[in-house]
Structure 1
Protein backbone atom coordinates (compact mmCIF):
# COMPACT_ATOMS: atom_id res chain seq x y z
CA UNK A 1 0.00 0.00 0.00
CA UNK A 2 1.27 3.48 -0.88
CA UNK A 3 2.10 5.70 2.05
CA UNK A 4 -0.17 8.63 2.78
CA UNK A 5 0.73 12.15 1.74
CA UNK A 6 2.40 13.92 4.67
CA UNK A 7 2.86 17.31 3.01
CA UNK A 8 1.34 18.81 -0.12
CA UNK A 9 2.58 21.93 -1.91
CA UNK A 10 0.23 23.20 -4.60
CA UNK A 11 1.03 26.04 -7.02
CA UNK A 12 3.10 27.76 -4.34
CA UNK A 13 4.16 31.24 -5.40
CA UNK A 14 6.16 33.92 -3.61
CA UNK A 15 6.67 37.41 -4.98
CA UNK A 16 8.88 40.15 -3.57
CA UNK A 17 7.62 43.16 -5.46
CA UNK A 18 8.42 42.45 -9.10
CA UNK A 19 10.67 39.47 -8.26
CA UNK A 20 9.07 36.02 -8.37
CA UNK A 21 11.22 33.88 -6.08
CA UNK A 22 8.95 30.79 -6.26
CA UNK A 23 6.68 30.43 -9.26
CA UNK A 24 3.76 27.98 -9.30
CA UNK A 25 5.63 25.05 -7.70
CA UNK A 26 3.77 21.84 -6.77
CA UNK A 27 4.98 18.59 -5.21
CA UNK A 28 4.01 16.02 -2.58
CA UNK A 29 5.95 14.33 0.19
CA UNK A 30 4.75 11.00 1.55
CA UNK A 31 4.98 9.80 5.12
CA UNK A 32 8.44 8.55 6.12
CA UNK A 33 9.95 9.79 2.86
CA UNK A 34 13.12 11.81 2.33
CA UNK A 35 12.75 14.35 -0.46
CA UNK A 36 15.70 16.41 -1.64
CA UNK A 37 15.05 19.97 -2.75
CA UNK A 38 18.00 20.76 -4.99
CA UNK A 39 19.11 23.29 -7.56
CA UNK A 40 21.56 26.14 -8.09
CA UNK A 41 22.00 28.99 -5.64
CA UNK A 42 19.18 31.51 -5.97
CA UNK A 43 16.74 28.97 -7.36
CA UNK A 44 14.15 29.45 -4.59
CA UNK A 45 14.88 26.43 -2.40
CA UNK A 46 15.22 28.27 0.91
CA UNK A 47 12.25 30.45 0.03
CA UNK A 48 10.23 27.27 -0.44
CA UNK A 49 11.34 26.04 3.00
CA UNK A 50 10.27 29.41 4.41
CA UNK A 51 6.84 29.05 2.82
CA UNK A 52 6.39 25.57 4.31
CA UNK A 53 7.51 26.63 7.79
CA UNK A 54 5.56 29.89 7.72
CA UNK A 55 8.61 32.13 7.95
CA UNK A 56 7.21 33.76 4.79
CA UNK A 57 3.56 33.92 3.69
CA UNK A 58 2.63 32.56 0.28
CA UNK A 59 1.63 35.02 -2.43
CA UNK A 60 -0.38 32.31 -4.14
CA UNK A 61 -1.09 28.60 -3.85
CA UNK A 62 -1.03 26.69 -0.57
CA UNK A 63 0.75 24.19 1.67
CA UNK A 64 -1.20 21.39 3.39
CA UNK A 65 -0.19 18.85 6.03
CA UNK A 66 -2.97 16.29 6.30
CA UNK A 67 -6.14 18.30 6.80
CA UNK A 68 -4.26 21.35 8.11
CA UNK A 69 -3.78 24.32 5.78
CA UNK A 70 -0.33 25.42 6.89
CA UNK A 71 -0.19 28.42 4.60
CA UNK A 72 -2.91 30.14 6.67
CA UNK A 73 -1.10 29.65 9.99
CA UNK A 74 1.64 31.66 11.73
CA UNK A 75 4.98 29.91 12.29
CA UNK A 76 4.30 29.03 15.94
CA UNK A 77 1.12 27.13 15.01
CA UNK A 78 2.88 25.38 12.13
CA UNK A 79 5.50 24.21 14.64
CA UNK A 80 2.78 22.94 16.95
CA UNK A 81 1.17 21.14 14.00
CA UNK A 82 4.38 19.10 13.69
CA UNK A 83 6.81 20.93 11.41
CA UNK A 84 10.34 21.76 12.62
CA UNK A 85 13.33 23.09 10.75
CA UNK A 86 16.97 24.07 10.72
CA UNK A 87 18.23 27.15 8.89
CA UNK A 88 20.81 27.68 6.17
CA UNK A 89 22.44 30.24 8.48
CA UNK A 90 22.35 28.83 12.00
CA UNK A 91 19.93 30.53 14.37
CA UNK A 92 20.56 29.88 18.03
CA UNK A 93 19.77 31.84 21.20
CA UNK A 94 23.18 33.17 22.36
CA UNK A 95 22.05 34.14 25.86
CA UNK A 96 21.02 30.56 26.67
CA UNK A 97 23.06 27.45 27.36
CA UNK A 98 23.20 24.58 24.90
CA UNK A 99 20.58 22.61 26.84
CA UNK A 100 18.31 25.63 27.20
CA UNK A 101 18.38 26.14 23.42
CA UNK A 102 17.19 22.59 22.94
CA UNK A 103 14.56 22.91 25.67
CA UNK A 104 13.08 25.85 23.77
CA UNK A 105 12.26 23.51 20.91
CA UNK A 106 10.44 21.10 23.19
CA UNK A 107 8.56 23.91 24.91
CA UNK A 108 7.11 25.36 21.73
CA UNK A 109 6.97 22.27 19.53
CA UNK A 110 4.46 19.62 18.54
CA UNK A 111 4.32 17.89 21.93
CA UNK A 112 5.24 20.41 24.59
CA UNK A 113 6.98 19.32 27.79
CA UNK A 114 7.74 21.04 31.08
CA UNK A 115 9.92 20.61 34.16
CA UNK A 116 12.18 17.61 34.64
CA UNK A 117 10.59 15.74 31.74
CA UNK A 118 11.60 18.64 29.49
CA UNK A 119 15.23 18.57 30.69
CA UNK A 120 15.57 14.79 30.32
CA UNK A 121 14.01 14.74 26.87
CA UNK A 122 16.18 17.66 25.69
CA UNK A 123 19.32 15.99 27.04
CA UNK A 124 18.47 12.89 25.01
CA UNK A 125 18.33 14.97 21.84
CA UNK A 126 21.79 16.33 22.58
CA UNK A 127 22.99 12.76 22.96
CA UNK A 128 21.58 11.95 19.51
CA UNK A 129 23.69 14.66 17.88
CA UNK A 130 26.82 13.91 19.89
CA UNK A 131 26.76 16.89 22.26
CA UNK A 132 25.72 15.30 25.55
CA UNK A 133 28.76 16.70 27.37
CA UNK A 134 28.14 20.27 26.20
CA UNK A 135 24.71 20.71 27.78
CA UNK A 136 25.66 23.40 30.30
CA UNK A 137 28.06 25.33 28.09
CA UNK A 138 27.17 28.75 26.68
CA UNK A 139 26.47 28.76 22.96
CA UNK A 140 29.46 31.06 22.43
CA UNK A 141 31.79 28.19 23.36
CA UNK A 142 30.64 26.04 20.45
CA UNK A 143 32.06 25.88 16.95
CA UNK A 144 29.81 26.66 14.01
CA UNK A 145 29.43 22.93 13.22
CA UNK A 146 28.41 22.17 16.81
CA UNK A 147 25.93 25.03 16.73
CA UNK A 148 24.37 23.29 13.72
CA UNK A 149 24.09 20.15 15.85
CA UNK A 150 22.34 22.13 18.58
CA UNK A 151 19.90 23.51 16.02
CA UNK A 152 19.04 20.00 14.87
CA UNK A 153 18.66 18.82 18.47
CA UNK A 154 16.28 21.74 19.06
CA UNK A 155 14.25 20.75 16.00
CA UNK A 156 14.08 17.14 17.21
CA UNK A 157 13.04 18.28 20.68
CA UNK A 158 9.85 19.65 19.11
CA UNK A 159 9.03 16.00 18.24
CA UNK A 160 8.01 16.90 14.67
CA UNK A 161 6.43 14.66 12.09
CA UNK A 162 8.00 16.72 9.27
CA UNK A 163 11.58 18.02 9.48
CA UNK A 164 13.00 20.65 7.11
CA UNK A 165 16.80 20.57 6.88
CA UNK A 166 18.32 23.53 5.02
CA UNK A 167 21.90 22.60 4.09
CA UNK A 168 22.44 20.97 7.48
CA UNK A 169 25.24 18.80 6.10
CA UNK A 170 27.16 21.71 4.57
CA UNK A 171 30.65 22.25 5.96
CA UNK A 172 31.03 18.84 7.58
CA UNK A 173 34.24 16.90 7.12
CA UNK A 174 33.97 13.39 5.59
CA UNK A 175 33.62 11.64 8.96
CA UNK A 176 31.04 14.15 10.20
CA UNK A 177 29.20 13.90 6.88
CA UNK A 178 28.83 10.13 7.18
CA UNK A 179 27.64 10.50 10.78
CA UNK A 180 25.14 13.14 9.66
CA UNK A 181 23.82 10.95 6.86
CA UNK A 182 23.33 8.06 9.29
CA UNK A 183 21.53 10.37 11.73
CA UNK A 184 19.13 11.64 9.06
CA UNK A 185 18.49 8.08 7.93
CA UNK A 186 17.66 7.10 11.51
CA UNK A 187 15.10 9.90 11.69
CA UNK A 188 13.35 8.52 8.63
CA UNK A 189 13.51 4.99 10.03
CA UNK A 190 11.71 6.08 13.18
CA UNK A 191 8.83 7.40 11.10
CA UNK A 192 9.63 11.03 10.39
CA UNK A 193 9.23 12.76 7.03
CA UNK A 194 12.16 14.85 5.82
CA UNK A 195 12.67 17.56 3.23
CA UNK A 196 16.27 18.56 2.80
CA UNK A 197 17.95 21.30 0.81
CA UNK A 198 21.42 20.03 0.00
CA UNK A 199 24.31 20.46 -2.43
CA UNK A 200 26.23 17.37 -1.25
CA UNK A 201 25.43 14.86 -3.99
CA UNK A 202 26.67 11.88 -1.96
CA UNK A 203 24.03 12.73 0.64
CA UNK A 204 21.35 13.17 -2.02
CA UNK A 205 22.13 9.75 -3.50
CA UNK A 206 22.37 8.05 -0.11
CA UNK A 207 19.30 9.53 1.57
CA UNK A 208 16.68 10.71 -0.88
CA UNK A 209 13.76 8.67 -2.15
CA UNK A 210 12.90 11.47 -4.57
CA UNK A 211 14.23 14.88 -5.57
CA UNK A 212 12.52 18.08 -6.63
CA UNK A 213 14.81 20.30 -8.71
CA UNK A 214 14.29 24.05 -8.84
CA UNK A 215 15.87 26.68 -11.06
CA UNK A 216 14.99 30.38 -11.24
CA UNK A 217 12.00 29.81 -8.98
CA UNK A 218 10.34 27.02 -10.97
CA UNK A 219 10.37 23.24 -10.72
CA UNK A 220 12.33 21.80 -13.63
CA UNK A 221 12.43 18.12 -12.66
CA UNK A 222 11.15 15.57 -10.16
CA UNK A 223 11.98 11.91 -9.68
CA UNK A 224 14.49 9.54 -8.12
CA UNK A 225 18.03 10.84 -7.56
CA UNK A 226 19.25 8.76 -10.50
CA UNK A 227 16.56 10.17 -12.77
CA UNK A 228 17.01 13.85 -11.93
CA UNK A 229 20.82 13.75 -11.80
CA UNK A 230 20.88 12.38 -15.35
CA UNK A 231 18.25 14.81 -16.67
CA UNK A 232 19.82 17.04 -19.37
CA UNK A 233 17.92 20.10 -18.14
CA UNK A 234 19.19 19.55 -14.58
CA UNK A 235 22.75 19.04 -15.79
CA UNK A 236 22.60 22.26 -17.81
CA UNK A 237 20.98 24.36 -15.08
CA UNK A 238 22.71 22.97 -12.01
CA UNK A 239 25.35 20.29 -12.33
CA UNK A 240 27.35 21.46 -15.33
CA UNK A 241 28.43 19.62 -18.46
CA UNK A 242 31.40 17.99 -16.72
CA UNK A 243 29.14 16.22 -14.19
CA UNK A 244 29.25 12.42 -14.22
Structure 2
Protein backbone atom coordinates (compact mmCIF):
# COMPACT_ATOMS: atom_id res chain seq x y z
CA UNK A 1 0.00 0.00 0.00
CA UNK A 2 1.30 3.41 -0.91
CA UNK A 3 0.66 6.82 0.56
CA UNK A 4 1.43 9.09 3.44
CA UNK A 5 1.23 7.74 7.00
CA UNK A 6 -1.79 8.87 8.99
CA UNK A 7 -2.35 8.22 12.66
CA UNK A 8 -5.46 6.17 13.32
CA UNK A 9 -7.44 8.68 15.32
CA UNK A 10 -10.88 10.17 15.15
CA UNK A 11 -10.63 13.15 12.77
CA UNK A 12 -11.35 16.63 14.02
CA UNK A 13 -14.57 18.33 12.99
CA UNK A 14 -14.50 20.90 10.22
CA UNK A 15 -12.98 19.61 7.00
CA UNK A 16 -13.84 22.42 4.63
CA UNK A 17 -11.99 22.77 1.35
CA UNK A 18 -11.86 20.94 -1.96
CA UNK A 19 -13.05 17.41 -2.57
CA UNK A 20 -16.19 15.36 -2.11
CA UNK A 21 -17.24 16.15 1.45
CA UNK A 22 -19.71 15.46 4.21
CA UNK A 23 -19.77 17.94 7.07
CA UNK A 24 -21.59 17.02 10.27
CA UNK A 25 -23.93 14.67 8.38
CA UNK A 26 -26.62 12.78 10.27
CA UNK A 27 -29.25 10.50 8.74
CA UNK A 28 -32.29 9.06 10.50
CA UNK A 29 -34.84 6.54 9.30
CA UNK A 30 -38.07 6.44 11.33
CA UNK A 31 -36.22 7.84 14.31
CA UNK A 32 -33.31 5.41 14.05
CA UNK A 33 -29.98 7.11 13.41
CA UNK A 34 -27.97 5.56 10.59
CA UNK A 35 -25.29 8.29 10.65
CA UNK A 36 -24.41 10.71 13.45
CA UNK A 37 -22.46 13.93 12.76
CA UNK A 38 -20.11 12.34 10.24
CA UNK A 39 -17.27 14.39 8.78
CA UNK A 40 -15.70 12.85 5.68
CA UNK A 41 -13.64 14.00 2.72
CA UNK A 42 -12.01 12.48 -0.33
CA UNK A 43 -9.85 14.50 -2.71
CA UNK A 44 -8.80 13.81 -6.27
CA UNK A 45 -5.81 11.52 -6.61
CA UNK A 46 -6.40 9.41 -3.50
CA UNK A 47 -8.02 6.05 -2.79
CA UNK A 48 -9.97 6.05 0.47
CA UNK A 49 -11.31 2.86 2.02
CA UNK A 50 -14.49 2.88 4.12
CA UNK A 51 -14.79 -0.08 6.47
CA UNK A 52 -17.05 -1.19 9.29
CA UNK A 53 -19.28 -4.06 10.39
CA UNK A 54 -22.62 -4.67 8.69
CA UNK A 55 -25.06 -1.91 9.58
CA UNK A 56 -22.33 0.59 10.46
CA UNK A 57 -23.56 3.20 7.95
CA UNK A 58 -21.08 2.74 5.07
CA UNK A 59 -23.58 2.51 2.22
CA UNK A 60 -25.76 5.17 3.83
CA UNK A 61 -22.82 7.59 3.70
CA UNK A 62 -22.15 6.70 0.07
CA UNK A 63 -25.84 7.22 -0.70
CA UNK A 64 -25.74 10.66 0.90
CA UNK A 65 -22.60 11.67 -1.01
CA UNK A 66 -24.14 10.54 -4.32
CA UNK A 67 -27.55 12.09 -3.67
CA UNK A 68 -29.63 8.94 -3.23
CA UNK A 69 -30.43 10.08 0.33
CA UNK A 70 -30.61 13.56 1.74
CA UNK A 71 -29.09 14.07 5.19
CA UNK A 72 -31.35 14.80 8.13
CA UNK A 73 -28.78 17.41 9.17
CA UNK A 74 -25.35 18.52 8.02
CA UNK A 75 -24.15 19.40 4.54
CA UNK A 76 -22.46 17.79 1.54
CA UNK A 77 -20.26 19.35 -1.13
CA UNK A 78 -18.56 18.60 -4.43
CA UNK A 79 -15.58 20.92 -4.23
CA UNK A 80 -17.08 24.35 -3.49
CA UNK A 81 -20.62 23.50 -4.61
CA UNK A 82 -23.06 22.52 -1.88
CA UNK A 83 -25.00 19.41 -2.90
CA UNK A 84 -27.09 18.80 0.24
CA UNK A 85 -30.43 19.35 -1.51
CA UNK A 86 -29.47 18.25 -5.02
CA UNK A 87 -30.90 15.14 -6.66
CA UNK A 88 -28.63 12.26 -7.65
CA UNK A 89 -28.53 13.14 -11.37
CA UNK A 90 -27.45 16.71 -10.57
CA UNK A 91 -24.64 15.43 -8.34
CA UNK A 92 -23.62 13.00 -11.08
CA UNK A 93 -23.32 15.96 -13.46
CA UNK A 94 -20.88 17.53 -11.00
CA UNK A 95 -18.57 14.53 -11.41
CA UNK A 96 -19.69 11.86 -8.94
CA UNK A 97 -20.07 8.32 -10.34
CA UNK A 98 -20.85 5.17 -8.42
CA UNK A 99 -21.42 1.44 -8.59
CA UNK A 100 -23.79 -0.62 -6.45
CA UNK A 101 -23.56 -3.69 -4.21
CA UNK A 102 -25.81 -5.50 -6.69
CA UNK A 103 -24.65 -5.15 -10.28
CA UNK A 104 -27.01 -2.91 -12.26
CA UNK A 105 -26.03 -3.46 -15.87
CA UNK A 106 -28.45 -3.55 -18.79
CA UNK A 107 -28.24 -7.31 -19.23
CA UNK A 108 -29.82 -7.47 -22.70
CA UNK A 109 -27.55 -4.75 -24.09
CA UNK A 110 -24.02 -5.34 -25.32
CA UNK A 111 -21.02 -4.38 -23.26
CA UNK A 112 -20.29 -1.54 -25.69
CA UNK A 113 -23.86 -0.24 -25.42
CA UNK A 114 -23.67 -0.28 -21.61
CA UNK A 115 -20.50 1.81 -21.63
CA UNK A 116 -21.93 4.13 -24.30
CA UNK A 117 -24.67 4.98 -21.81
CA UNK A 118 -21.96 6.23 -19.46
CA UNK A 119 -20.13 8.11 -22.22
CA UNK A 120 -23.36 9.87 -23.23
CA UNK A 121 -23.62 11.30 -19.70
CA UNK A 122 -20.14 12.83 -19.68
CA UNK A 123 -19.66 16.60 -19.95
CA UNK A 124 -18.47 16.20 -23.55
CA UNK A 125 -21.89 14.68 -24.49
CA UNK A 126 -20.44 12.78 -27.50
CA UNK A 127 -22.83 11.56 -30.17
CA UNK A 128 -22.64 9.15 -33.11
CA UNK A 129 -19.13 7.98 -33.95
CA UNK A 130 -17.66 10.07 -31.13
CA UNK A 131 -19.87 8.28 -28.63
CA UNK A 132 -18.74 4.88 -29.87
CA UNK A 133 -15.09 5.92 -29.91
CA UNK A 134 -15.28 7.27 -26.35
CA UNK A 135 -16.83 4.02 -25.09
CA UNK A 136 -14.27 1.89 -26.98
CA UNK A 137 -11.45 3.91 -25.42
CA UNK A 138 -12.77 3.17 -21.92
CA UNK A 139 -13.19 -0.54 -22.74
CA UNK A 140 -9.61 -0.65 -24.02
CA UNK A 141 -8.26 1.01 -20.88
CA UNK A 142 -10.01 -1.56 -18.70
CA UNK A 143 -9.09 -4.55 -20.86
CA UNK A 144 -12.66 -5.26 -21.98
CA UNK A 145 -12.47 -4.79 -25.75
CA UNK A 146 -12.84 -8.49 -26.49
CA UNK A 147 -16.30 -8.47 -24.87
CA UNK A 148 -17.68 -5.37 -26.60
CA UNK A 149 -20.29 -7.19 -28.70
CA UNK A 150 -21.33 -9.68 -26.01
CA UNK A 151 -24.55 -9.19 -24.08
CA UNK A 152 -23.59 -8.03 -20.60
CA UNK A 153 -25.94 -10.44 -18.82
CA UNK A 154 -24.22 -13.49 -20.32
CA UNK A 155 -20.75 -12.74 -18.96
CA UNK A 156 -19.05 -14.05 -15.78
CA UNK A 157 -19.49 -12.16 -12.54
CA UNK A 158 -15.99 -10.69 -12.43
CA UNK A 159 -16.27 -9.34 -15.97
CA UNK A 160 -19.65 -7.78 -15.23
CA UNK A 161 -18.15 -5.98 -12.24
CA UNK A 162 -15.45 -4.52 -14.50
CA UNK A 163 -18.10 -3.45 -17.03
CA UNK A 164 -20.03 -1.61 -14.33
CA UNK A 165 -16.86 0.21 -13.30
CA UNK A 166 -16.13 0.98 -16.97
CA UNK A 167 -19.60 2.48 -17.41
CA UNK A 168 -19.05 4.69 -14.36
CA UNK A 169 -15.62 5.79 -15.59
CA UNK A 170 -17.07 6.59 -19.02
CA UNK A 171 -18.95 9.51 -17.45
CA UNK A 172 -15.52 11.13 -16.83
CA UNK A 173 -16.08 11.60 -13.09
CA UNK A 174 -13.97 13.49 -10.59
CA UNK A 175 -14.94 10.99 -7.89
CA UNK A 176 -15.67 7.26 -8.26
CA UNK A 177 -17.59 5.51 -5.47
CA UNK A 178 -17.36 1.70 -5.39
CA UNK A 179 -19.85 -0.07 -3.11
CA UNK A 180 -18.48 -3.54 -2.26
CA UNK A 181 -16.94 -4.21 -5.68
CA UNK A 182 -15.51 -7.56 -4.50
CA UNK A 183 -18.82 -8.87 -3.13
CA UNK A 184 -19.30 -12.39 -4.48
CA UNK A 185 -15.85 -12.46 -6.08
CA UNK A 186 -13.51 -15.42 -5.74
CA UNK A 187 -9.84 -15.06 -4.80
CA UNK A 188 -8.61 -14.60 -8.37
CA UNK A 189 -11.35 -12.06 -9.17
CA UNK A 190 -10.57 -10.12 -5.98
CA UNK A 191 -6.89 -9.99 -6.95
CA UNK A 192 -7.78 -8.73 -10.44
CA UNK A 193 -10.06 -6.12 -8.90
CA UNK A 194 -7.24 -4.88 -6.65
CA UNK A 195 -5.06 -4.42 -9.72
CA UNK A 196 -7.89 -2.64 -11.54
CA UNK A 197 -8.45 -0.16 -8.71
CA UNK A 198 -4.71 0.52 -8.51
CA UNK A 199 -4.65 1.14 -12.27
CA UNK A 200 -7.62 3.50 -12.08
CA UNK A 201 -5.99 5.44 -9.25
CA UNK A 202 -2.74 5.87 -11.18
CA UNK A 203 -4.22 6.39 -14.68
CA UNK A 204 -7.17 8.68 -14.01
CA UNK A 205 -7.10 11.98 -12.16
CA UNK A 206 -9.92 11.29 -9.73
CA UNK A 207 -10.65 10.29 -6.15
CA UNK A 208 -11.77 6.72 -5.47
CA UNK A 209 -13.90 5.72 -2.46
CA UNK A 210 -14.10 1.96 -1.83
CA UNK A 211 -16.51 0.24 0.56
CA UNK A 212 -15.39 -3.32 1.08
CA UNK A 213 -15.46 -6.22 3.56
CA UNK A 214 -12.43 -7.80 1.88
CA UNK A 215 -9.81 -6.33 4.20
CA UNK A 216 -6.93 -7.72 2.17
CA UNK A 217 -8.11 -5.78 -0.88
CA UNK A 218 -8.70 -2.68 1.21
CA UNK A 219 -5.29 -2.78 2.88
CA UNK A 220 -3.67 -3.13 -0.53
CA UNK A 221 -5.37 -0.35 -2.48
CA UNK A 222 -6.31 2.36 0.05
CA UNK A 223 -3.91 5.15 0.95
CA UNK A 224 -6.28 6.13 3.78
CA UNK A 225 -8.93 4.12 5.61
CA UNK A 226 -11.94 5.46 7.52
CA UNK A 227 -13.71 3.16 9.98
CA UNK A 228 -17.38 3.50 10.89
CA UNK A 229 -19.42 1.77 13.54
CA UNK A 230 -22.89 2.63 14.78
CA UNK A 231 -23.07 5.45 12.25
CA UNK A 232 -20.03 7.25 13.67
CA UNK A 233 -16.45 7.64 12.46
CA UNK A 234 -14.29 5.88 15.06
CA UNK A 235 -10.88 5.96 13.40
CA UNK A 236 -8.97 7.15 10.35
CA UNK A 237 -5.49 6.23 9.21
CA UNK A 238 -3.29 4.04 7.07
CA UNK A 239 -3.55 0.23 6.98
CA UNK A 240 -1.14 -0.45 9.80
CA UNK A 241 -2.60 2.23 12.05
CA UNK A 242 -6.16 0.98 11.47
CA UNK A 243 -5.17 -2.64 12.09
CA UNK A 244 -3.71 -1.66 15.47
CA UNK A 245 -6.59 0.59 16.51
CA UNK A 246 -8.42 -0.87 19.51
CA UNK A 247 -11.78 0.73 18.68
CA UNK A 248 -11.67 -0.82 15.20
CA UNK A 249 -10.77 -4.25 16.60
CA UNK A 250 -13.57 -4.09 19.12
CA UNK A 251 -16.05 -3.10 16.40
CA UNK A 252 -15.09 -6.10 14.28
CA UNK A 253 -14.18 -8.78 16.81
CA UNK A 254 -15.50 -7.76 20.24
CA UNK A 255 -13.73 -6.48 23.32
CA UNK A 256 -12.34 -9.84 24.45
CA UNK A 257 -10.58 -10.53 21.13
CA UNK A 258 -9.29 -6.96 20.94
CA UNK A 259 -7.86 -7.13 24.48
CA UNK A 260 -6.11 -10.43 23.80
CA UNK A 261 -4.67 -9.10 20.55
CA UNK A 262 -3.23 -6.00 22.17
CA UNK A 263 -1.48 -8.21 24.71
CA UNK A 264 0.58 -9.58 21.79
CA UNK A 265 2.89 -6.74 20.65
CA UNK A 266 4.03 -8.55 17.50
CA UNK A 267 0.53 -8.49 15.98
CA UNK A 268 0.68 -6.98 12.48
CA UNK A 269 -1.73 -6.13 9.70
CA UNK A 270 -1.13 -9.53 8.13
CA UNK A 271 -1.84 -11.45 11.32
CA UNK A 272 -5.02 -9.44 11.86
CA UNK A 273 -6.15 -10.38 8.39
CA UNK A 274 -5.36 -14.03 9.04
CA UNK A 275 -7.75 -13.91 11.99
CA UNK A 276 -10.56 -12.68 9.72
CA UNK A 277 -10.42 -15.69 7.37
TM-score (norm 1): 0.92
Q: CA deviation at 1:49?
A: 0.7
- Trace 1:146-157 onto structure 2 (pairs within 5 A): 146-157=159-170
Q: Does the CA-based 8 Å contact 2:158-2:189 persist in structure 1?
A: no
Q: Deviations over 1:85-119 (max 9, x none)?
A: 11111111234222111111111234432211111
How large is the RMSD of aligned CA atoms in angstroms? 1.9
Q: Distance in 1 between matches of 2:124 and 2:226?
A: 30
Q: Does the CA-based 8 Å contact 2:234-2:247 persist in structure 1?
A: yes
2:19 partner SS: strand
Unaligned runs of 5+ in 1: none
1:195 to 209, 212, 223: 209
Q: Does the CA-based 8 Å contact 2:107-2:154 persist in structure 1?
A: no
Q: Does the CA-based 8 Å contact 1:79-1:109 persist in structure 2?
A: no
Unaligned runs of 5+ in 2: 5-16, 262-270, 273-277
* CA distance 1:111–1:46, change in 2 (3 Å): farther
- Trace 1:66-105 onto structure 2 (pairs within 5 A): 66-105=79-118
Q: Distance in 2 between matches of 1:129 and 1:150?
A: 8
- Trace 1:55-66 onto structure 2 (pairs within 5 A): 55-66=68-79
Q: CA deviation at 1:54?
A: 0.7
1:178 partner SS: helix
* CA distance 1:224–1:111, change in 2 (3 Å): farther
Q: Deviations over 1:7-48 (max 9, x none)?
A: 221011111111211111102222211111100011110111
What is residue 226 of structure 2 aligned with on the other side? Answer: 212
Higher strand fraction (1 or 2)? 1
What is residue 158 of structure 2 aligned with on the other side? Answer: 145
Q: CA deviation at 1:124?
A: 2.3
What is residue 238 of structure 2 aligned with on the other side? Answer: 224
Verify: 1:5 aligned to 2:18, yes or no: yes
Q: Larger Cα Rg: Structure 1 or Structure 2?
A: 2
Q: CA deviation at 1:239?
A: 4.5
Aligned positions, number? 242
Q: CA deviation at 1:79?
A: 1.1
Q: Distance in 2 between matches of 1:145 and 1:197?
A: 17
TM-score (norm 2): 0.81
Q: Deviations over 1:113-170 (max 9, x none)?
A: 2211111121222233332122122222122322211110100100111000111123
Q: Does the CA-based 8 Å contact 1:80-1:111 persist in structure 2?
A: no
Q: CA deviation at 1:192?
A: 1.4
1:113 partner SS: coil
Q: Does the CA-based 8 Å contact 1:79-1:110 persist in structure 2?
A: no
